[in-house]
Chain A
């Protein structure tokens, strides 16, 4: 049996590896195309962050606090016994902040704070019992975001619970808790 395969030792006259050209290789076309796509993607991501950041700054402040400033309260429901309430706060990015600090009923002390749960669902209504003539009330909600307590001020129409949030219904309510 003779081995017909060529000798594994390379000959000294011809190098085993082809000599490389002295010029660097051309950049393949896919690199350009793909680079453009990736670049556009990165630009879009960057633009998203810039635009959403600007939006947060433009939208006028209703909430006082540092950091990722929530700029306005879109919806407020008061915390009740069964389930913590939540606020939708307009920020740079749409975020829901659960309220972990109980709501302080109106600073003036005239605002009564009524929570009712007719069928187990937390429903919330703010009523101004001591000054029924007043149509609007100012609420100061303390809520905690990432360990930092912030205050949001919300203006609600006292006798228009629908303004307080989507959950507000006109069903009979039983007051469960009242502020000072």
Chain B
């Protein structure tokens, strides 16, 4: 199921865009979280919490799910596969874990944003610093893995590679003599 080049590039563009968008949204979220904790101005803190509530539902979760799905499409539709290269395996595991944690944690952020909207003084509401920094680190690691693609094939990948190579060799051996005859 290898995708044709143009389709593959379109899918890759969507994947890179959503993944980098996720990273950017986490940085924005972190900035808002620090603002909410550091600022003394009630309305600034309230605005920061409200913005965090919006970002998590309308930016972070869509981008995370899009990144995961387009990543799966990339694995299915290219020679990289799911379990052939260690870096792909790590990316898949980390992305799934990060997405699950995000989805699991977002109601907390949404509830806190609702509370911040309604109470008189939202200062002192809980911080999401640990989660934001954790997400940032994981996403940076994922980006580095994607760019460097460190060597290392799994046993499964090695077997698949050998099968493919044998098939190619066989095809060459049969086609070359035919060309010489013609």
A96, B126: Cβ atoms closer than 8 Å: yes
Report how far A84 CA is from B119 CA in the complex, Å. 7
A86, B97: Cβ atoms closer than 8 Å: no
Dominant SS at the B interface? helix
Which residues of the other chain, A, contact B177 by a CB distance below 8 angstroms?
12
Which residues of the other chain, A, contact B108 by a CB distance below 8 angstroms?
93-95
Which residues of the other chain, B, contact A20 by a CB distance below 8 angstroms?
161-162, 165
Given A10-B172, A94-B108, 14 other A-B residues pairs in contact with their CB atoms under 8 A: A17-B165, A24-B155, A25-B152, A25-B158, A27-B152, A31-B86, A31-B152, A35-B90, A42-B97, A45-B97, A93-B108, A96-B112, A98-B118, A167-B120
B153, A25: Cβ atoms closer than 8 Å: yes
Report how far A35 CA is from B141 CA in the complex, Å. 13
Interface status of A148 (Cβ within 8 A of chain B):
no
Chain A 1-31 per-residue mask, 1 if CB under 8 angstroms from chain B, else 0: 0000000011010011100100011011011
The residues of A with any CB-CB pair to B shorter than 8 Å are: 9-10, 12, 15-17, 20, 24-25, 27-28, 30-31, 34-35, 38, 41-42, 45, 83-86, 93-98, 120-122, 146, 166-167
B165, A84: Cβ atoms closer than 8 Å: no
Dominant SS at the A interface? loop
Interface status of B41 (Cβ within 8 A of chain A):
no
What class of interface size applies to chain B in its complex with A? 35 or more
Which of B125, B138, B161, B169 has a CB less than 8 Å from the CB of A15?
B169
A30, B152: Cβ atoms closer than 8 Å: yes
Interface status of B65 (Cβ within 8 A of chain A):
no
Which of A9, A86, A121, A166 has a CB less than 8 Å from the CB of B115?
A86
Residue of A nearest to B173 (CB): A12
Report how far A167 CA is from B114 CA in the complex, Å. 19
Which residues of the other chain, B, contact A146 by a CB distance below 8 angstroms?
107
Cβ of A19 to closest chain B Cβ, rounded Å: 8
Residue of B nearest to A83 (CB): B118
Interface status of B147 (Cβ within 8 A of chain A):
no
Residue of A nearest to B155 (CB): A24
Given A28-B86, A38-B90, A45-B97, answer yes or no on A86-B119 (Cβ-Cβ < 8 Å).
yes
Which residues of the other chain, A, contact B10 by a CB distance below 8 angstroms?
none
Report how far A42 CA is from B179 CA in the complex, Å. 56
